[in-house]
Each structure stands twice: as C-alpha cells, then as structure tokens.
Amino acid sequence: MQRQPAHRPLIVVDAVISGDGIRPGLPGLSQLAHRTLHLPLSDEGIDLGPVTLGERIGGEGHYGFLYTIVGRPHWALKLIEPFPAEIPTVKIIASHCGNGDEACYLVVENLHHGRWADRGLVVAPSVLSERERAAARRLCDNLAARNIVALDCHRENLFFFDGTAGDLTAGIHDHDYIFSLEEMQRLRRRTVKRLFTLAGPTGPARSAVDRAVKGRSVSAQELMDAFFQRKMIEDIR
C-alpha cells in the first residue's frame, strides 16, 4: 500500500469532508464554501451530523475561518486553530446565552479536580512568589510570541502547577479579554471601553491599548510587557 504524504492539500472524498480532511492547518480550509462537512463529536457530546457551509464571513482571522451554515441562518461555523498546549486555560464544557427570563451560564472545568489537581496546583494566590511571578512572565511571553494578548491576567485570574520539566507553569483561569493583536482594531466599542479601564487612566498600558485599537504601531510583546508591569508587579486589578 502506498503511503500518503504527511502534509497534503484538502482532498474531497464523495460529497462529505471529514476527519483528516478538515484538520487544522490545511490550506483548503479557506475554500470550503458550499461544501458539506462531518465534524467530530463536540466536547459536550453533540453530533451535528452533516453540515453544509454557505459563504465565508469576513476575511482570514488569526484563529481560523468563519462560514454561514446552509439551513441554519442563526448559526455560523468557525474552523479554528487549537489554542497552544503550552498556554493552559480552563476548559469550557457547556454554555448558554439566556435572556431576561433565562439564566446565562458557563459550565467549566473544576481546576481542583481536573488535569492539574495532582501537580501542586495553586489557584489565585494572595501574593505572587518570585517563582510564580517568573511563571507568569513566561506565560505573557508565550502569548506575545504568538501575537496574542491577554489583558486581564492579574494574580487572581491565574493558576499555577508543576510542569512536566519541573518548572512552575502558569495558566489562565477566566480567559476573557484574550485577542490576537490584529483583532483589537475591530473590537466593539463596549469591549474597547473595558480594555481602557483595565489599562488604567494613564501610563504605558493605556498608551499601548490606544495604539492597538487604532491600528497604530505596537507589538503584542509591548502590550504584554505593559500589562505585566501593571497587573503582576504593581498588582492592580
């Protein structure tokens, strides 16, 4: 039997694309309009069955490609890149956006009984030790290296555990206000207002946010450095 190459362009077999044909990183993921996919079972155990995509919505995003779904006008499908494993975050199990008569909720992984429970887990320490501060610094640098910014990484929103190499590792507990740098200039006004609140009234963090949302020259590293100083060193929520 002839071996298949490890990396190959998107191949359509019959009418439905599934499995390895829609794995992250394939160049054909940007060209799936009007194709039918069979997605893997969701983490909540939901089998969506065959899903036929409509047109793409917007351009290429940092995290993937967004499509309309034929026959489901209130839904959209985004094929995304997985969040890097070296940037630990709490897993979302289920969610619901209710209204005035219903609860809005997230069901999330319980850190104290989850993947890191037996690895010296510490959640939201009252004071950062030098070792924890160094782990938080590595987390910020890992994010910046991927052009990702996390602007609400204060000590009460972090957890720490023993890494496989023996080093202390930091993770993000409540992972909101995480964006690609390019995404920041397209954020809604309400979100931008919240980012300025997180950045404070003056100083490097506010200046960096102002430039980012206006599409001016600023790097993810500069943003993370400014917020590390404000959130970890000055310990400002």
Round to whole Å and give the CA distance between 159 and 89. 9
Q: Which has more pLDDT, 140 or 11?
A: 140
Strand 76-80 relative to strand 105-108: parallel, antiparallel, unpaired?
Answer: unpaired
Numbers of helices and strands, H then E, in the chain: 4, 12
Mean pLDDT of 120-144: 95
pLDDT at 50 over 50: yes
Please provide residue 23's backbone torsions phi and psi, each rounded to the nearest 5 degrees. -70, 155
pLDDT at 89 over 50: yes
Give residue 60's pLDDT.
58
Whether the model clears a pTM of 0.75, i.e. scores above it, the answer is no
* Per-residue pLDDT tens digits for 5-34: 444 444 444 468 887 788 877 878 889 999
Strand partners of residue 94? 107
CA 74 to chain centre: 23
